Amino acid sequence: MSAAMELLQVAQAGDREACEQAVIENSGLIWSIVRRYYGRGVEPDDLYQLGCLGFLKAVQGFDFSYGTCFSTYAVPKIAGEIRRFLRDDGTVKVSRTIREQAIRLYSTRERLRQELGREPYLSELSDCTGLTVEEIARADLAANAPKSLQQETVDGLTLEGMLGTEAPEEELVERIALRELIDRLPEKERLTILLRYFKCLTQEQTARVVGVSQVQVSRLERRGLQRLRESFAP
Q: What is the mean pLDDT of each run of 10 residues along the chain (234 residues)?
A: 86 87 91 85 85 90 79 86 74 61 81 84 84 74 52 53 47 49 83 80 83 89 85 60
Contact 167, 175 (CB under 8 A): yes
Strand partners, 152: 158
Q: How much is the pTM?
A: 0.42
State the Cα–Cα distance between residues 30 and 180, nearest whole angstrom.
32
The domains located in the chain, with CATH, are 3-142 (no CATH), 159-232 (1.10.10.10)
Helix (H, G, I), strand (E, B) or coil at 177: coil
Contact 119, 113 (CB under 8 A): yes
**pLDDT tens-digit map of 93-116:** 456 677 778 778 878 888 888 888
**In the chain, how long is the greatest CA-to-CA distance?**
68
Helix (H, G, I), strand (E, B) or coil at 152: strand
Helices (H) and strands (E) in the chain, counts: 14, 0
